[in-house]
Structure 1
């Protein structure tokens, strides 16, 4: 495989990975909407005190987001993507 061809494949892979990360983050925000709303409600009207007054809500939100945005989830999404791409290829190629 030539250097140019390899660079193109890596670029495509990087684009795919960035798209999967974006999809993962969007799903996390959707799934954690309840915690986001609780944190926003607590933070409303506060400036500096939000750090200590809303600590519990921030922790809940971060824990929820972490459940949906971690390396394990990303690897599963990559496997699913690879399987989808493999099923699109014609047989014998």
Structure 2
């Protein structure tokens, strides 16, 4: 089976987003500093910094990076399943 369940997809997305925030931390901090003490003017005063944050996040959470993460996850999941099946077969062989 090469599809992810909804729960697996959500878990992967949360994990990837958390990693992206760590990687993009300098941009996020710059944006937060820009927003500090502003209300309405944030929309135009910090627009460039927001675009940098968004570009950085897309670099890690966009369609291509997510597809790579999904593929790696599926590969790992298949390996784990294969190991379990092999262990089960070994145990059955020993019992007979």
TM-score relative to the length of structure 2 = 0.78
* Matched ranges for 1:9-24 at <5 A: 13-24=5-16
Deviation at 1:81, TM superposition (A): 0.9
* CA-atom RMSD in angstroms: 1.9
1:86 counterpart = 2:87 = no
Tell me the residue number matched to 1:70.
62
Tell me the TM-score normalised to structure 1 length: 0.81
2:19: which partner in 1?
A: 27
Distance 2:50 2:71 in 1: 31
Alignment gaps of 5+ in structure 2: 90-96
Task: Give the whole-Å Cα distance in 2 for the aligned partners of 1:72 and 1:45.
Answer: 37
Work out the CA distance in 1 between the residues paired with 2:58 and 2:79.
31
In structure 1, the gaps of 5 or more residues are 1-9
